[in-house]
């Protein structure tokens, strides 16, 4: 008994079709960045915190410091070489009036203070998170990371890795401008 012709054609075509669909799906998958992790905290209020000082004789950094303004919170550490790379950009932004607060993450306060003294201090307020507890609450997985916080204290954006001039121009500056007018 012979198979009817359409069934034969289907049997011949099906494996090829499955292969082509799989190949296309997997090829598209290659374009995804496996290291990119969308933050689940976007749109949620920043956690409560009160960090001790980094700079000598300073007051530290707490949740109350960010209320009512659109600000950047930058997670850094004196041990972090990518932070060193990002640092001139932060200095430039601070000089142009962008409010940046710092979290000295998993770092001894004295080391953080020395680092800021050596390379310059772009931060309005800076607090020490040596135990990394606020880092966990913010879902931080490495430094530098920068959060954009709106006027109501909600996290609106998370930048993983150094802020480059392109990222600032294309992503963060437009977002902050939008949040500033109440968006």
Partner 1 sequence: MNRSPGALFAALLAGLMLALPFAALAVEPDEMLADPALEARAQAVSKELRCVVCQNQSIDDSSAPLARDMRLLVRERIAAGDSDAQARTYLVERYGNFVLLKPPFQANTILLWLGPLLILLVAAGGLLVAARSGAVEDGDPEADADNMESL
The residues of the shown chain that bind partner 1, judged by CB under 8 A, are 1-5, 7-8, 11-12, 14, 37-41, 106, 131-133, 135-139, 141-142
What minimum distance in Å lies between the beta carbon of 138 and partner 1? 7
The whole-angstrom separation of Cα 39 and Cα 25 is 25
Q: Which is nearer to partner 1, 6 or 183 (CB)?
A: 6
The whole-angstrom separation of Cα 66 and Cα 74 is 13
- In three-state secondary structure terms, 183 is coil
* CA nearest neighbour of 121 among 142, 94, 99, 96: 94
The whole-angstrom separation of Cα 49 and Cα 128 is 11
What minimum distance in Å lies between the beta carbon of 14 and partner 1? 7
Q: Which is nearer to partner 1, 25 or 30 (CB)?
A: 25
Task: Confirm if 151 and 69 have CB atoms less than 8 A apart.
Answer: yes
What minimum distance in Å lies between the beta carbon of 41 and partner 1? 7
Q: Which is nearer to partner 1, 89 or 139 (CB)?
A: 139
What minimum distance in Å lies between the beta carbon of 17 and partner 1? 12
Q: Which is nearer to partner 1, 44 or 178 (CB)?
A: 44
- Give me the numbers of helices (H) and strands (E) for the chain, helices first please: 6, 7
């Amino acid at each position: 008994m012979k198979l009817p012709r359409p069934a034969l054609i289907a049997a011949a075509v099906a494996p090829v079709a499955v292969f082509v669909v799989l190949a296309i799906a997997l090829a598209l998958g290659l374009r995804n960045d496996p290291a990119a992790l969308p933050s689940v905290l976007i749109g949620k209020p920043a956690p409560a915190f009160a960090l001790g000082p980094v700079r000598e004789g300073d007051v530290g950094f707490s949740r109350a410091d960010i209320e009512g303004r659109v600000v950047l919170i930058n997670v850094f550490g004196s041990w972090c070489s990518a932070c060193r790379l990002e640092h001139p950009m932060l200095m430039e932004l601070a000089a142009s009036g962008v409010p940046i607060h710092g979290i000295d993450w998993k770092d001894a306060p004295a080391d953080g203070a020395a680092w800021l003294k050596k390379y310059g201090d772009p931060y309005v307020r800076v607090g020490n998170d040596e135990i990394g507890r606020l880092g966990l609450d913010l879902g931080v997985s490495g430094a530098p990371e920068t959060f954009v916080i709106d006027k109501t204290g909600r996290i609106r954006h998370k930048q993983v890795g150094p802020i480059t001039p392109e990222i600032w121009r294309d992503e963060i500056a437009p977002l902050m401008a939008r949040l500033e007018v109440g968006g």
